[in-house]
Chains A and B, each alone.
Chain A
Amino acid sequence: MERSFDNMFDYYKHTSMFWNDMISMMSSKPTSLTAVGPLRNFTENIKKISQELIESNQEIVDFNSYLIEYYKQLGETWASSQKKVMAKVSEMPQDPESMEAYKRIWIDMFENDFTQLFDTESFSKNYNKLVSTEMQLLKRWNTIMDIMLKSANMPTKEEIDEIYQELFNLKKQVKKLDSSKKRSNRK
């Protein structure tokens, strides 16, 4: 049965996942023989790490396109501001007073144009997509780190977060008890 793919990414993802699983299954026996002790965990987890890396492909592409758009917006604003500055200062004489005036015109023009850019919906939307994709990539990195930490028998971010949450709740409870004790002492 032949599968059809909507785009190259899906094809690439499917092919990578297929070989990732196949290699993992085919090599499980020899790996079991060679890897002993805590390291065995790691070899078993390599498949999960590969999966994360394959999954992150689309996000890397998205991140790059948002980043390109981000620099495009900055670059176009820069070019347009510079053009305006040049048009304004081309007739100015070359003396110290004019240098100061040139600097003022340059800063005012750039400040104004860039503030206008930062104020647009298109900048805000693209910037936030860029940050959001960066966070998604960071999340994948955290998952990979967690897999490695688990293999090394160390606490993962998720486990530490659980402890933080537990401590936070305990602290809150102690504070509540403390303040009710204070209140009853006052009475």
Chain B
Amino acid sequence: MTLETSVNESIIGDFLNFNKNIAEMPSKISVPHEVKMDTCDYDVVYEEDRIRMLHYKPLTKKQIVTPLVISYAIVNRYHIFDIDPKKSWIRNMLESGIDVYMIDWGTPTKMDKFLGFDEYVNGYLDNCIEDVCDRSSVNKVSLQGYCTGGTLATVYSALHPEKVKNLIATAPIIDGWKDTTVVSNIAKNFDVDKMVDVVGNMPPEFIYYCFSILKPFEQGIEKYLKFFQNLENEKYVNSFLKIEKWLAETPPIPGELFKQWIKGIYQENLLSQDKMFVGNQHVSLKNITMPVFTQVAVGDHLVSPECSMPLHYAVGSEDKNLEIYPTGHVGMIASSYSQKNVLPTLTKWIKTRSD
């Protein structure tokens, strides 16, 4: 008896090509850790402990007077805002005549495990904004916060409204109880006291675990299959390596800040319930009376829209805008979609509300 099997020739061809690509890969592409991440030039204008503030060099002759300070998230690094010249948030802002500063929260060490909301908001963020005000001879700045940086920017605007001309909250974490992501499902039952007591700072490995449960098959298998199939496409490979490098470089989170975050935002929902205190000061979202632009993404699997949107309804501002985009958490800030649909509205909004 003979067993006959027939396999389509092109399947074998694809399989052989795939293997050939893997074998030839090292000679074709750069070493991932040597890939340059930023595309716009900047100067480091302020440093304190581990944090740095970057000031991007202008790309237009004339700029609006009110500078924009971006409070990046405490997870991953700021590079995603300027990782590809054609998808760069920063470049788009600079080309629109906006003077842009970026806060890089740096890499906390074991010594920084006592840093909490108070030190980040009333310390670092306030010092950065004071520095920008001195440099630009202004009393107020436009403040943008992304993801966890959006929460810091929101808390700052509630405590120091006199220094914020406009607040832009991009996928901020506001109402932890309404968050429907798998990350919040883990956070709600998490024994954060024990974790911080034993390991000090929140280790990057744990953050990677949280990333790995978000679309594990699309991000963990399909993405790499696509990469091996597209090795000839230089543009694709470059962009892939930059994103991978960005994803792999997340700093630890200071233990105290992480504890306050998980307990205060996800487990007890203090900010949204008007019960949050930072540095003995009550954080009331009603104190936010400056113009507010809230940006959320329908496909955000890290911060669900339901978690961010309450900000729009809770602030005391009369001039407020809520935009919901059909994209994802990263797609909202670093994609062709954001260049075409998110940034034009935002830059116009900032310019009409700036000096």
Q: Cα distance A128–B210 when bound, in Å?
A: 12
Q: List the A side residues contacting B8 at CB < 8 Å.
A: 94-96
* Interface status of B165 (Cβ within 8 A of chain A): no
Task: Please name the residue on chain A nearest to B216 by beta carbon.
Answer: A114
Which residue of the partner chain, among A120, A124, A136, A138, contacts B199 with CB atoms under 8 Å?
A138
Query: A107 to B195, Cβ gap below 8 A?
Result: no
Report if A135-B199 is in contact (Cβ < 8 Å); known contacts: A124-B189, A167-B111: yes
Report if A135-B194 is in contact (Cβ < 8 Å); known contacts: A96-B11, A114-B217: yes
Binds A, one of B24-32, B65-73, B180-188, B244-252: B180-188
Most buried by A among B114, B188, B191, B198: B198
Q: Cα distance A136–B8 when bound, in Å?
A: 55
| Min distance, Cβ A51 to any Cβ of chain B, angstroms | 19
Interface of A is mostly: helix
Query: A119 to B185, Cβ gap below 8 A?
Result: yes
Query: B222 to A107, Cβ gap below 8 A?
Result: yes
Within 198-253 of B, Cβ neighbours of A (below 8 Å) are at 198-199, 213, 215-218, 221-222, 225
Fill in one digit per residue for B271-295: 1 if any A CB lies within 8 Å of its CB, else 0: 0000000000000000000000000
Query: A99 to B182, Cβ gap below 8 A?
Result: no
| Min distance, Cβ B50 to any Cβ of chain A, angstroms | 12
Task: Please name the residue on chain A nearest to B180 by beta carbon.
Answer: A119
Q: Cα distance A110–B215 when bound, in Å?
A: 9
Q: List the B side residues contacting A172 at CB < 8 Å.
A: 119
* Interface status of A175 (Cβ within 8 A of chain B): yes
Within 36-50 of B, Cβ neighbours of A (below 8 Å) are at 49
Which residue of the partner chain, among B14, B113, B198, B215, contacts A135 with CB atoms under 8 Å?
B198
Within 139-176 of A, Cβ neighbours of B (below 8 Å) are at 139, 142, 164-165, 167-168, 171-172, 175
* Interface status of B95 (Cβ within 8 A of chain A): no
Which residue of the partner chain, among A107, A128, A136, A175, contacts B221 with CB atoms under 8 Å?
A107
* Interface status of A115 (Cβ within 8 A of chain B): yes
Q: Cα distance A135–B197 when bound, in Å?
A: 9
* Interface status of B20 (Cβ within 8 A of chain A): no
Q: List the A side residues contacting B1 at CB < 8 Å.
A: none
Q: List the A side residues contacting B11 at CB < 8 Å.
A: 94-96, 99
* Interface status of A187 (Cβ within 8 A of chain B): no
* Interface status of B123 (Cβ within 8 A of chain A): yes
Q: List the A side residues contacting B110 at CB < 8 Å.
A: 164
* Interface status of A111 (Cβ within 8 A of chain B): yes
Task: Please name the residue on chain A nearest to B206 by beta carbon.
Answer: A131
* Interface status of B190 (Cβ within 8 A of chain A): yes
Query: B218 to A119, Cβ gap below 8 A?
Result: no
| Min distance, Cβ B299 to any Cβ of chain A, angstroms | 13
Q: List the B side residues contacting A9 at CB < 8 Å.
A: none
* Interface status of A132 (Cβ within 8 A of chain B): yes
Q: List the A side residues contacting B3 at CB < 8 Å.
A: none
Q: Cα distance A131–B196 when bound, in Å?
A: 12
Query: B111 to A111, Cβ gap below 8 A?
Result: no
Q: Cα distance A172–B115 when bound, in Å?
A: 10
Query: A124 to B194, Cβ gap below 8 A?
Result: no
Query: B191 to A111, Cβ gap below 8 A?
Result: no
Query: B123 to A175, Cβ gap below 8 A?
Result: yes
Q: List the A side residues contacting B216 at CB < 8 Å.
A: 110-111, 114
| Min distance, Cβ A11 to any Cβ of chain B, angstroms | 28
Query: B186 to A128, Cβ gap below 8 A?
Result: yes
Query: A118 to B185, Cβ gap below 8 A?
Result: yes
Task: Please name the residue on chain B nearest to A95 by beta carbon.
Answer: B8
Fill in one digit per residue for A93-130: 1 if any B CB lies within 8 Å of its CB, else 0: 01110010001001100110011001111011101100
* Interface status of B23 (Cβ within 8 A of chain A): no
Report if A115-B114 is in contact (Cβ < 8 Å); known contacts: A128-B191, A138-B198: no
Task: Please name the residue on chain B nearest to A132 by beta carbon.
Answer: B191
Task: Please name the residue on chain B nearest to A137 by beta carbon.
Answer: B198
Q: List the A side residues contacting B191 at CB < 8 Å.
A: 128, 131-132, 135
Q: Cα distance A110–B222 when bound, in Å?
A: 12
Most buried by B among A95, A106, A135, A175: A135
Q: Cα distance A172–B110 when bound, in Å?
A: 16
Q: List the B side residues contacting A164 at CB < 8 Å.
A: 110-111, 113-114
Q: What are 25 of the A-B contact pairs (CB < 8 Å)?
A: A94-B7, A94-B8, A95-B11, A99-B14, A106-B217, A107-B221, A110-B216, A111-B217, A114-B216, A115-B215, A123-B185, A124-B185, A127-B186, A127-B189, A128-B186, A128-B189, A131-B191, A138-B198, A139-B198, A164-B110, A164-B111, A164-B113, A164-B114, A165-B114, A167-B111
- Extra contacts besides A135-B191, A139-B194 (12): CB < 8 Å: A94-B8, A95-B8, A107-B222, A110-B217, A111-B215, A114-B213, A118-B185, A119-B182, A127-B189, A138-B198, A139-B197, A164-B114
Minimum-distance CB pairs A-B, first 8: A118-B182, A132-B191, A128-B189, A168-B114, A135-B198, A135-B194, A110-B217, A124-B189
